[in-house]
Amino acid sequence: MARRTRSVPLENRTNRLKLAPRKKPYTALIAPGIFLAYRRNAGAGTWSVKCSGWLKRFSLADDHEDANGTSVMTYWQALEHAKKLARAGEGNTEQPVSVAEALDAYETDLETRDGSKYNATGVRRHLGALANKAVALLTDRELRDWRAGLIKHGLKRSSADRIARSLKAALTLAASNDKRITNAAAWKIGLKKLPDSETARNVILQDQTVAALVRGSYDVDHSFGVLIDTLAETGARESQVLRLLVDDLQDSNAVAARLMMPSSRKGKSRKIEQRPLPISSRLAKLLRQQAIGKVPHDRLIDRIPKLAGRFHPLAKKLGLGPEVTPYALRHSSIARQLLKGVPTRVVAAHHDTSVAMIEKNYSRYIIGDLSEHITREAMIDLGDARQLIDAISSQRLAS
């Protein structure tokens, strides 16, 4: 068995607290080229690993509280953790990427792919101590505890799950860019979707409410109105609508105008295809006006910074709660088509999703008007209720 590296000044809290507080950390060589660094503070000290010219802090020392093996560590726990962290980058002088850095890279990737930066910025506000953790050392338990902490501090389960999904995407991107990260199972298990977490998100709006939101959005700003109008009428995702080009507006036939809507980049298949979606002549005219002065390969609809932030005041003005987001327009579109008897497969294709997802999340609308009509036709006719009761009473008396 290999001998553990001892350091008398650092290996117990009594000796550490005798050291003078200073910015420069005290170090101990724990393996060739790897140092465990301890910074003596006025309060609890901190453990870091120093290797190949970089320094990364990873936990507090157990100077004033008992160690828990994660956020507070003994010398011996810190020693093993420092080796593991340093060796995640063996053969590479680059510092292992942190969660915060992974999120920065994810935000850049979203911008490149015309995705919503909010998927990254929304997570960053809730990272807390997780921000400085090395992605290569994340465990399923600490990720599970992090998400549980979001709910404990007041976030709805649906919101916590949505934030966790964005973090998973950032961590997965980091792992694809750095083959030293081999613990993808940590976020697949630790951030597995919470049961029924999507229920609160499926906000279905009445048609008159959708119309009021569209009218109100034009009062705020014309470009904002065009975007909300298009989301409401097509039921497409914001990311899809923002990738529309001028060429994708096909309105030569005024009574059969349509948009060649690009598919999303969701799911395993990232191939982008286009599907024709019918739109009203009213919306077609507004989009054609939007295209004036643009060339065929320009964006048809302008990006609206912080769309959700501009949408919330409008929803509030109409007496709607904070759960009503631009995505509610998509939910409402799906429910509306199902209730009008549009076949599930057609609804799924129109909204660039699967039949399985429609059946899972909107089953109560699939079994709505059409199912009720069919089952009513098959109900047994027992005649007048009063006559039936009298007949049963007569039979009892006769017996």
pLDDT in tens, 378-389: 666 655 656 656
Structure-derived torsion over alpha carbons of residues 239, 242, 246, 248, reported in degrees to the nearest 10: 20
pLDDT of residue 1: 41
Nearest CA among 164, 218, 214, 174 for reference residue 328: 214
Q: Does domain 99-200 have CATH number 1.10.20?
A: no
Query: Of the ranges 110-114, 191-195, 356-360, which one carries the lowest mean pLDDT score?
Result: 110-114
pLDDT band of residue 373 (cuts 50, 70, 90) is: low
Quick one: average pLDDT of 64-79? 90
Taking CA atoms, 270 is separated from 110, 170, 263, 266, in Å, by 14, 17, 9, 7
Instruction: Please state which CATH number belongs to domain 207-340.
Output: 1.10.443.10
pLDDT of residue 178: 82
pLDDT of residue 185: 92
Say what the pTM is: 0.59
pLDDT band of residue 93 (cuts 50, 70, 90) is: very low
pLDDT band of residue 183 (cuts 50, 70, 90) is: confident
Domain ranges, ordered by start, for the chain? 13-87, 99-200, 207-340
Q: What is the mean pLDDT of the chain?
A: 84
Quick one: average pLDDT of 197-223? 85
DSSP 183-200: -THHHHHHTPPPTTTTGG
pLDDT tens digits, residue range 4-60?
Answer: 688 888 988 999 999 999 989 999 988 887 889 999 998 899 999 887 767 888 889
Distance CA 54, CA 50 (A): 6
Residue 331 is inside which H or E element, if any? helix 327-339
Q: Is the dihedral of CA 198, 302, 169, 270 positive or negative?
A: positive
